[in-house]
């Protein structure tokens, strides 16, 4: 979801800083700026993020029309950067420490936050009639634990069958048929439950815990969707932009 927010704000000429954990577990890696943690840089829809080590590098990266990314698991750099807006896009389904005191405007994505208490605005991230709605009071809908259906199926998500190291047999963009071996965790096979394109998959060689999401098969079969931000992420990004304009435009 963060990439959708970043793209909306980048094209509206906002200066953005991304903070990440030391070992991101993004499934849709081809459209996630967090890959810069591993590779030093990551490009999503023509926008490039660059891994930096110190605050002094911010201006240089911004002047190159790129986005600086800092490994900062607890977002302590906010006290040095002092942002005008802080967006909590952790998607942990709970508040991991975000406060309205973190910035003049704090916007939180998804469940686990109370608008007006934990953040100034909360964005609804659950698919349905209210997706992308900017909430000024109350909370987003609770996490159901059930992935949203695409073409009528919810069996698209691949999960780790055990604790261990993820090893892949297929790659993002490959066509999968139900029963195909996608990879394994601790020699326990992970197989496709539906036909489709492997739209996302966490990096091979990463340690995982049982039941964590490790892949995503798209039954629509459109390989180009592997490299573009989803409609859901774009909608959420639009809500964040709306929140900023509401707050600073008044």
pLDDT of residue 152: 66
- pLDDT value of position 124: 97
Place of tokens 């029309």: 65
Q: What is the predicted pLDDT for the residue at 249? A: 87
The 8 Å CB, 24+ separation contacts for 206-210 are 206/23, 206/25, 206/165, 206/166, 207/163, 207/164, 207/165, 207/166, 208/25, 208/160, 208/163, 208/164, 208/165, 208/166, 209/160, 209/163, 210/160, 210/161, 210/162, 210/163
What ranges do the domains of the chain cover? 2-144+230-249, 157-219
CATH hierarchy code of domain 157-219:
2.40.50.100
* pLDDT score for 27: 95
- Per-residue tens of pLDDT for the chain, all 250 residues: 899 999 999 999 999 999 999 999 999 999 999 999 999 999 999 999 999 998 899 999 999 999 999 999 999 999 999 999 999 999 888 899 999 999 999 999 999 999 999 999 999 999 899 999 999 999 999 877 666 667 667 689 999 999 999 999 999 999 999 999 999 999 999 999 999 999 999 999 999 999 999 999 999 999 999 999 999 999 999 999 999 999 998 5
């Amino acid at each position: 979801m963060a990439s959708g927010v970043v793209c909306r704000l980048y094209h509206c000429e906002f200066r953005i800083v991304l903070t990440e954990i030391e070992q991101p577990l993004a499934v849709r890696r081809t459209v996630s700026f967090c890959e810069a943690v591993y590779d030093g840089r990551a490009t999503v829809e023509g926008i490039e993020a660059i891994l930096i080590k110190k605050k002094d590098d911010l201006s240089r990266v911004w002047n190159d029309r790129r986005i600086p990314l800092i490994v900062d698991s607890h977002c302590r750099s906010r006290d040095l950067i002092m942002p005008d807006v802080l967006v909590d896009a952790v998607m942990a389904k709970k508040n991991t420490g975000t406060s309205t005191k973190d910035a003049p405007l704090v916007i939180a994505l998804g469940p686990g936050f109370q608008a007006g208490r934990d953040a100034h605005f909360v964005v609804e991230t659950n698919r349905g009639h209210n997706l992308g709605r900017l909430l000024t009071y109350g909370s987003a809908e609770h996490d159901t634990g059930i992935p949203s259906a695409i073409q009528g199926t919810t069996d698209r998500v691949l999960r780790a069958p055990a604790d261990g190291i993820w090893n892949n047999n297929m790659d993002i963009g490959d066509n999968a048929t139900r029963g195909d071996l996608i990879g394994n965790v601790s020699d326990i096979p992970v197989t496709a439950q539906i036909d489709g394109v492997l739209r996302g998959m966490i990096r091979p060689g990463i340690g995982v815990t049982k039941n964590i999401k490790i892949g995503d098969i798209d039954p629509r079969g459109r390989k180009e969707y592997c490299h573009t931000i989803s409609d859901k992420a774009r909608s959420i990004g639009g809500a964040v932009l709306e929140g900023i304009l509401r707050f600073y435009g008044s």
